[in-house]
Each structure stands twice: as structure tokens, then as C-alpha cells.
Chains A and B, each alone.
Chain A
Amino acid sequence: MAEFKKTKGLTDAPFHYCPGCTHGIVHRLVAEVLEELGILGKTVGVAPVGCAVMAYDYFNCDMIQAPHGRAPAVATGAKRANPDNIIFTYQGDGDLAAIGTAETVHAATRGENITVIFINNAIYGMTGGQMAPTTLANQVTQTTPYGRDVTRAGFPIRMSEMLSTLEGVAYAERVTVDNVPNVRNAKKAIKKAFEAQINKKGFSIIEVLSTCPTNWGLEPVEALKWLRENMIPHYPLGVYKDNTEKGVF
């Protein structure tokens, strides 16, 4: 049986994430995929603003830290500079679906040959648990203390569904990491997204339903349960678009 070792895709820096936070699992999956595909040496990652802001310390590849929401634009510039490099962004829901909506939609619609790892934890983690665009109806957050009232604060946004309507998107899948089979499946999806980029097929995005035990005010195990019971019904798992055979152009 294979020995469980640290992946070459991560540095030795210890993660700063809270106990039970699934950001760490997703980091590890991305890193393993980069290592297994043999692309670590030609990958440039783009870190977001959010809890993953220090992702540049963790991934063992070149990294650029982008302004809040602008990672897809930064990634576009890096890809245009060196089309043979592999470029990925790692972004939270506040980053990708609020301040950076335009950058996300337009990089996707241009068919920018980059891979986006999108962490949907239904909340702003880093700033202390405010409402995100993905916050569920009636969910209590720091800025929806009475629960998200959709008549005032609007509805939670489904990014994978929305992006999959765009011609430039080669691959869009929503996964989660709440148990071992789902972790395995998430890794498969991430690998497929990077392969789409290697084969120059177009924009790929993997949305990962993730936990924020700290700001949800739940124990790590309860947080996983909350994710299963509340998030998955609103954000169904699955492949939303697969154009990886033909490519988008």
C-alpha cells in the first residue's frame, strides 16, 4: 500500500486555517494534482483576498497575490504573458461572486484558458462572518443578524449554474469535501479542470462547497452536517458543463 506522504505541491509552511476548516483539504487536493500532473514547475497560482490570502505561502509554485476579486484578471494577464504556463486562481465566494463578479464572468466568457478553484462557504470568513452572495436564505451572519431576508438582501447566487451558460466555459463542476468519497471525487474534478487547461480547452471552474466552522458558530463535525443539510440542497453537486472533448473554440 502506498505510503501517505506530504505532497511536493505544498511548502512546509503550516496552514493558518481554523480547526475543521476545509480550505486546507482543498489546498492539499490542488497541490497533489499539480504534482501528479507534473506541472508544478510551470504553474503560476493567483491568491485571492479572503481566508486564502496567504495561499502564496503554501503552494510550492510561483504565486501572485491579487486585489480582492481581481484574480481572474491577474490570471488573464499572466496567461497572455506565458500561454504555456498553467495558471490557476483560488478564490472565496465573496472574492469571486461579489466584488469580482465582472472579472469572473468575463474571464469565463473569453474562454480564458485558466482554472478557477472556487471555495463556497456561504459566508465571508476572513472579515468575521458577514453575508456573502452565497449566504443561504434565512442564514444568520454578522450582517444578517435576523437571517438573510431575501426581500431585502436578494437571493443566494449559484455561480456554477450561471457560468455554465457561457460559451467560453469548458468545464464547470460543483463538488464538496465533507467525506472521503466526496474528497476523492473533488480531486478527480480538480484534475480534470487542470487537464482541460493543459489541453487548451478553455475556462474551467471547480466550485467546492466548504465549511467555515468559526463563522457558522459550529463544531467542525456539526459544520459538515450543516453543509450537507443546508448547502447541498441549494447548491446541488455535479457537473454543470463538460466541453473538455471539443474545447470552446
Chain B
Amino acid sequence: MGQKYLMKGNEAIAEAAIRNGCMHFFGYPITPQTEVSAYMSKVMPKIGGTFLQAESEIAAINMVLGAASCGIRAMTSSSSPGISLKSEGISYIAGSDIPCVILNVMRGGPGLGGIQPSQADYWQATKALGHGDFQLIAFAPATVQEIVDLMGTAFDLSDKYRVPALILADGMLGQMMEPVEFPENKGPSTAENKPYATTGTKESRKPNIVNSLYLKPDQLEKTIVERFKRYEVIKQNEVMVEEYLTEDADIITVAYGATARVVKTAVDKAREEGIKVGLIRPITIWPFPEKSIAEAAKKVNNMLVVEMSMGQMVEDVRLYANGQCDVSFFGRTGGIVPSPAEVLTEIKKLAGGAK
């Protein structure tokens, strides 16, 4: 600890995963996250870990299912179109209560879209990462350091609740270089304290079965209801949110990830001009910081949601603002990052009618 490295986001992510005990990485190339694989391929063979370039994203996520079923920390990473392919495996992993970490360095979509930064996978990440009733714990870091710090949290919470964790970054974070500090290396994870792990019975216990199939509807319902009880505990205990200058604010902006950095700059500029504006930055987008939004909505007339999409998180903000204030939206999409000046203009429009 203490030493700072200047590193690309994607490489820092890989190093952070290794330091958190992840010795098994399965990936498939796609811009803008390829450096994660490249880094893993360089380091893993030297430390006795696994880097495997799978034949597809579908195979990669299922390799994660196989490895993580054996009780060790396993990870895969991709970008938007690749995450769509992984959605089958993600649903099975969630349905089998197997922990793992999945990284999405988002690019513009739909379809092949583009390769520039985007936040157009918020709905996918929080509402529909595969078929069936399930959630992932989803983190939305805003700096390279935060990605590094959240990697440990993602693995720990995933293990604790047996719910897969998603880190939702974007091309900007993946590609930017920033100084970072890493935690101590925890050493390779083991199957210790993982009673479900398929490591062989040694003929001394009953077979462990990792499975997501329940042909009897009442049994399937039971497992889902049990899983949602765990989700409820996660919602109570694991929300992470940053509130910036919200105390005396007349206007609240809401943004996550790299966009939140742009918005923060705009907030500072607005403050210099005497406009009392604050920022709520969800760090976990699932569980969503419902309470922060609900409380703030009672105190202001306007909220402004800024995203690199046509507006996805804005629906959650409207839901939890629950009609207590106006919620407007500003977004750029297709791989365009909104500028602080654009956001400032939007803030000023609202300030005209502020309390």
C-alpha cells in the first residue's frame, strides 16, 4: 500500500481482481476492454493463474460458471455486445447462486453500435441481464481508483450473498490513465467456507449439485422467493452513494460513472455563479440509492439526470422521486460524452425556476 501507479483503467481492473484472489479469468476480445485480457494474459501464467481466451463470450461466461462452481473467485469481462451474449450464462449463474464478477466496459449500441463510451446498458444491467426473476449487484465506479476499490467489494459481496456482481464501467474509464493505489495481495481464493463447491466429494459427504432447474413450480417459486429475500437484505445494507453539495441545494443533479465527473465540474461552475446545485451519484446502481433520491426530492423543485444514453436511469429517479419534484433529463448518446458546458446550460435553464 502507499505506492501509486499510473495505469489505464482496464489494466487497473485486472490487477485489482488478481489482488483480490481472482486467479481465473476467461475472456473474449472486444473494444474497449481488450486491455483487461491482455493484462491477464501477461500476468496469470507467471503467478500460476488461468488466462483463457474462450471461443466466444458464451463460452467464457460458462467457463466462469464451471470455475466459480468449484468455489474459487472467477471473472470475465466484455463490452456491450459481448455482455448480451453472456446474458444466458449470467441467468444460469444467478439461478445457481454462484458468485463471480462480470465487467462491462460499455460502448455505444444497439447492435454493433460504436466503440466510444456509452451508458446505454443501464437497463440491461439493472433490469434485464438475462431471462427470469433475478438481480445482480451492480457497481458504477467513476474513477480508476474507485474501480480498483470496488473490485474487492464486488468479490466480497458476491461471495457473501451468492449473487453475481457486475461492474458497469464505460469506454472512458477503461481507457483513461490515472494514478492508483492497490490493496495488498490477498493471495489466491480457495473453496474454504463454500459449502456448495463442486470440488469432489472425497466420498466423505453427499454430492454437491450446482443447478438452476426446478421442474416443480412450487419449488422454483420457493428458491426465487428465498433469493429475493437475500436481495432485500442487500437493498437494506449495501447501497453505496456519493452526495456532493446536496445539503443546501435547490437543484439536484443525478449521474453515475464517468458522466458524474462531467456533471461535478458543471456543478462546481454553477456554484461559482451562485446557483445552489448538488449531485447525487449512485455508486451501486443496483441496489439503487432510493432513499437519497426520495429524501432529496422532498427538498427541491428540480432534479436533472444526466446520462450517456437516451435516458435510462432517469426512470428510476422518477420512480423514487415519486412526483415530489420535477425530473428532467439531459443525455448524449452514440458514444458522445456530454460536456460540462452543456450540462451547465441545462442547470441554468432549471435555475431560472429554482426555489
A-B contact pairs, 29 of them (CB 8 A): A41-B204, A42-B200, A42-B202, A44-B199, A54-B213, A59-B207, A60-B207, A62-B198, A62-B208, A62-B209, A64-B198, A64-B211, A65-B96, A65-B211, A66-B62, A67-B65, A73-B54, A73-B63, A73-B65, A77-B24, A77-B69, A78-B67, A78-B70, A80-B50, A80-B52, A81-B66, A81-B72, A82-B199, A103-B62
Interface of A is mostly: helix
Given contacts A73-B58, A81-B74, A106-B55, contact A61 B201 (CB under 8 A): yes
| Interface residue ranges of B39-88 to A (CB < 8 Å) | 50, 52, 54-56, 58-60, 62-72, 74, 88
Question: Chain B nearest CB: distance from A20 CB in Å?
Answer: 23
Contacts of B96 in A (CB 8 A): 64-65
Give 1 or 0 for each of A73-107: 1 = CB within 8 Å of chain B CB: 11111111110010000000000000000110110
Is B203 interfacial (CB 8 A cutoff)?
Answer: yes
Contacts of A73 in B (CB 8 A): 54, 58-60, 62-63, 65-66
Question: Chain B nearest CB: distance from A181 CB in Å?
Answer: 32
A117 CA / B145 CA spacing, docked (Å): 47
Most chain B CB inside 10 Å of its own CB: which residue of A44, A60, A65, A73: A73
Instruction: Establish whether residues A64 and B201, one from each chain, have CB atoms under 8 Å apart when the complex forms.
Output: no
Is B282 interfacial (CB 8 A cutoff)?
Answer: no
Give 1 or 0 for each of B187-215: 1 = CB within 8 Å of chain A CB: 00000000000111111100111111100
Question: Chain A nearest CB: distance from B16 CB in Å?
Answer: 21
Contacts of A41 in B (CB 8 A): 200-204
A77 CA / B204 CA spacing, docked (Å): 24
Given contacts A56-B209, A62-B209, A65-B213, contact A76 B63 (CB under 8 A): yes
A62 CA / B199 CA spacing, docked (Å): 7
Chain B contact-residue range equals 35 or more
Contacts of A106 in B (CB 8 A): 54-55, 59
Is B231 interfacial (CB 8 A cutoff)?
Answer: no
Report the interface size for chain A: residues with CB under 8 A from the other chain. Answer: 37
A66 CA / B56 CA spacing, docked (Å): 16
Given contacts A77-B65, A80-B67, contact A62 B207 (CB under 8 A): yes
Is A53 interfacial (CB 8 A cutoff)?
Answer: yes
**Chain A residues within CB distance 8 Å of chain B:** 11, 40-44, 46-47, 53-54, 56-57, 59-67, 70, 73-82, 85, 102-103, 105-106
Contacts of B52 in A (CB 8 A): 76, 80
Contacts of A60 in B (CB 8 A): 201, 207
Contacts of A47 in B (CB 8 A): 211
Question: Chain B nearest CB: distance from A13 CB in Å?
Answer: 11
Determine the residue in chain A with the shortest Cβ distance to B215.
Answer: A54
A75 CA / B60 CA spacing, docked (Å): 12
Determine the residue in chain B with the shortest Cβ distance to A99.
Answer: B58
Is B89 interfacial (CB 8 A cutoff)?
Answer: yes
Is B288 interfacial (CB 8 A cutoff)?
Answer: no
A74 CA / B100 CA spacing, docked (Å): 14
Contacts of B202 in A (CB 8 A): 41-42
Q: Given A40, A57, A67, A76, which contacts B201 in the complex, CB threshold below 8 Å?
A: A40
Is B92 interfacial (CB 8 A cutoff)?
Answer: yes
Q: Given B55, B68, B69, which contacts A103 in the complex, CB threshold below 8 Å?
A: B55
Is B26 interfacial (CB 8 A cutoff)?
Answer: yes
Instruction: Establish whether residues B55 and A76, one from each chain, have CB atoms under 8 Å apart when the complex forms.
Output: no
| Interface residue ranges of B146-180 to A (CB < 8 Å) | none
Contacts of B211 in A (CB 8 A): 47, 56, 63-65
A98 CA / B26 CA spacing, docked (Å): 23
Contacts of B74 in A (CB 8 A): 77, 81
User: Apart from A61-B201, A62-B207, A77-B74, what are 10 other A-B pairs with CB-CB below 8 Å?
Assistant: A54-B213, A62-B198, A62-B208, A63-B208, A65-B211, A70-B59, A74-B65, A81-B70, A105-B55, A106-B55
Contacts of B58 in A (CB 8 A): 70, 73, 102-103
Contacts of A44 in B (CB 8 A): 70, 198-200
Instruction: Establish whether residues B200 and A62, one from each chain, have CB atoms under 8 Å apart when the complex forms.
Output: yes
Instruction: Establish whether residues B55 and A102, one from each chain, have CB atoms under 8 Å apart when the complex forms.
Output: yes
A63 CA / B67 CA spacing, docked (Å): 13
- In the A-B complex, list the 3 residue pairs whose CB atoms are closest, starting with the nearest: A77-B66, A77-B63, A73-B62
